[in-house]
């Protein structure tokens, strides 16, 4: 069996140029992909940053009460979806019919023993109040709210909601309801 060995000198200039372009394209593909991925996530990163800045004072749960937030519904946990945690809700913000990225209607804390760790927020607006002056569902920084009809497990009127996991990474995404990294099992009895 004979093998043909081609030296660099015997390759024509045009073939060398084609190979160089192909190698550059293949080597650069991950760079292009990561640039595209970060471009696609520019809005979510911005909303997460807004939430972190707005809720920095509430890392200490003791700051929630004086700001109008109170715990409701206990620790919300799903049978196979992880948990949400304990919602500290500001009723005045829920009932005002508006959404403001800097003023979430609910702060979400994970109970750890007899302490609480801030993990995220939930924006909540009653559907009838929102629909009275808007023709489309609410959005913040490009993130659409989900509609929750009535009756629901909370026993409240239909509403729109958006979770933002700004203080606890969520493997399923920063804007999904349930977070597999949040647990109600660490709560002291």
pLDDT tens track, the chain, 189 positions: 443 333 334 434 333 323 333 333 333 333 333 332 333 344 458 999 999 999 999 999 999 999 999 999 889 987 677 899 999 999 999 989 999 999 999 999 999 988 999 999 999 999 999 999 999 999 999 999 999 999 988 889 999 999 999 999 999 999 999 999 999 987 665
Q: Residue 141: CB partners within 8 Å, gap ≥ 6?
A: 43, 44, 46, 47, 50, 101
CB atoms within 10 A of CB 105: 26
Residues with Cβ < 8 Å from 74, sequence gap 6 or more? 86
Q: How far apart are CA 175 and CA 84, in angstroms?
A: 12
- Nearest residue to 71 via CA among 58, 82, 80: 58
- Structural domain spans, the chain: 12-39, 45-164
pTM recorded for the entire structure: 0.74
Asked whether the bond before 151 is cis by omega within 30 degrees of 0, the reply is yes
């Amino acid at each position: 069996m004979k093998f043909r060995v081609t030296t660099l000198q015997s390759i024509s200039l045009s073939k060398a140029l084609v190979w160089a372009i192909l190698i550059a394209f293949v080597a650069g593909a991950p760079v292009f992909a990561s640039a595209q991925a970060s471009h696609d996530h520019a809005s979510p990163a911005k909303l997460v940053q807004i939430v972190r800045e707005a809720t920095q004072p509430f890392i200490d749960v003791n700051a929630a009460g004086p700001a109008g937030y109170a715990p409701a519904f206990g620790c919300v946990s799903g049978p196979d979806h992880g948990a949400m945690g304990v919602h500290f809700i500001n009723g005045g913000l829920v009932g005002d019919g508006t959404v403001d990225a800097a003023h979430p209607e609910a702060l979400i804390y994970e109970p750890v023993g007899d302490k609480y760790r801030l993990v995220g927020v939930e924006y909540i607006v009653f559907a009838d109040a929102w629909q009275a002056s808007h023709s489309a569902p609410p959005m913040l920084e490009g993130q659409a709210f989900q509609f929750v009809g009535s009756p629901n497990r909370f026993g409240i009127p239909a509403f729109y909601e958006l979770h933002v996991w700004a203080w606890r990474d969520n493997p399923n995404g920063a804007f999904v309801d349930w977070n597999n990294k949040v647990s109600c099992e660490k709560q002291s009895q």
